[in-house]
A and B are shown apart, each in its own frame.
Chain A
Amino acid sequence: MHMLQELSWKVGGQQGEGIDSTGKTFATSLNRMGYFIYSYRHFSSRIKGGHTNDRVRISTVRKNSLADELDILLAFDQETINLNAHELREGGIVIADSKFSPVLPDNVAQNVHLYSIPFTKLAEENGAAIMKNMVALGTSAYVMGLSPDFCAPVIQNMFGRKSQKIVDQNMAAIRAGFDAMSGQNADFSSFQLAPATPDHHLLMIGNEAVAFGALSAGARVMPAYPITPASDIMEYLIKKLPSVGGVVVQTEDEIAALNMTIGAAYGGTRALTATSGPGLALMMEAMGLAGMTETPVVIIDTQRGGPSTGLPTKHEQSDMFAALFGNHGEIPKVVLTPSTPEECFYATVDAFNYAEKYQCPVIILTDLALSLASQSVTPFDYNYVEIDRGNLATPEALAAVEPGKMFKRYERTEDGISPRVFPGQKGGIHHVTGVEHNEIGRPDEATNNHIKMMDKRLNKFADIELPGSISYNGDNDPEVLVVGVGSSVGAIDEAVTRLRNQGIKVGHAQVKVLSPFPAKSLQEYMNRAERVIVAESNATGQLFHLMQLHGLQHKAMTSFLKYDGTPFMPKEVEAHLKGAVPAWQQ
Chain B
Amino acid sequence: MATVKEFRNEVRPNWCPGCGDYAVQAAIQRSLGSLNLEPEQVAVISGIGCSGRISGYINAYGFHGVHGRSLPLAQGVKLANRDLTVIAAGGDGDGFGIGMGHFMHAARRNMNITYIVMDNQIYGLTKGQHSPTSAFGFKAKTTPAGNIENAVSPLQIALAAGVTYLAQGFSHDVNQLTELITKGIQHKGFSLINVFSPCVTYNKVNTYEWYKEHIVPLDQFPEYDPTNKKAATTKVIETDGLCTGLIYEDNDRPAFEDLIPGYQPTPVADLDIHITQDQFEKFMSEFA
Contact = CB atoms under 8 A, between A and B. Distances in A.
Contacts of A293: 63
A422 interface: yes
Interface in B233-263: 260-263
A204 B287 contact: yes
20 contacts: A202-B287, A212-B283, A240-B283, A244-B262, A245-B263, A245-B271, A249-B79, A256-B105, A259-B72, A263-B72, A264-B79, A266-B76, A267-B269, A268-B267, A268-B269, A269-B269, A385-B280, A387-B273, A423-B40, A429-B60
Contacts of B59: 429
B173 interface: no
Given A202-B288, A218-B273, A262 B39 contact: no
A264 B65 CA distance: 13
Interface in A136-155: none
Given A244-B275, A253-B101, A260-B72, A200 B266 contact: no
Contact of A241 (B60, B262, B274): B262
Interface in A463-517: none
Interface string B54-83: 011001111111100101111111111101
A57 interface: no
Q: Which of A212, A423, A424, A427 has the most B CB atoms < 10 Å from its CB?
A: A423
B77 A266 contact: yes
A200 B288 CA distance: 8
Contact of B81 (A262, A267, A387): A267
A113 interface: no
Given A423-B61, A434-B64, A286 B56 contact: no
B38 A267 contact: no
B284 interface: yes
Interface of A: 31-32, 200, 202-204, 208, 212, 215-216, 218, 220-221, 223, 240-247, 249, 251-253, 255-257, 259-271, 285-286, 288-289, 293, 377, 379-380, 382, 385, 387, 404, 422-435, 441-443
A202 B288 CA distance: 5
Interface of B: 10-11, 38-41, 43, 45, 55-56, 59-66, 69, 71-81, 83-84, 101-102, 104-105, 109, 260-264, 266-271, 273-275, 277, 279-281, 283-284, 287-288
A255 B100 CA distance: 12
Nearest to A253: B101
B40 A255 contact: no
A267 B79 contact: yes
Given A215-B283, A263-B45, 4 more contacts: A208-B287, A286-B66, A288-B66, A422-B80
Contacts of B39: 429
A255 B81 contact: no
A202 B285 CA distance: 8
A422 B104 CA distance: 28
A426 B80 CA distance: 17
B273 A432 contact: no
Contact of A259 (B41, B66, B274): B66
A263 B80 contact: yes
B66 A434 contact: yes
Contacts of B81: 267-268, 422-424
Given A240-B283, A246-B268, A259 B73 contact: yes
Contacts of A268: 80-81, 267-270
B72 A251 contact: yes
B108 to A, nearest CB: 9
B147 to A, nearest CB: 27
B107 to A, nearest CB: 11
A442 B279 CA distance: 44
B10 to A, nearest CB: 8
B269 A32 contact: no
Q: Which 6 A-B pairs have the closest CB atoms?
A: A263-B76, A267-B80, A242-B262, A268-B269, A218-B273, A259-B72
B268 A263 contact: no
A429 to B, nearest CB: 6
A262 B63 CA distance: 11
Contact of A269 (B71, B268, B283): B268
Contacts of B72: 223, 251, 255-257, 259-260, 263
Nearest to B63: A432
Nearest to A267: B80
B288 A32 contact: yes
Given A264-B76, A426-B40, A252 B275 contact: no
Nearest to A269: B80
Nearest to B39: A429
A247 B66 contact: no
Contacts of A266: 63, 73, 76-77, 80
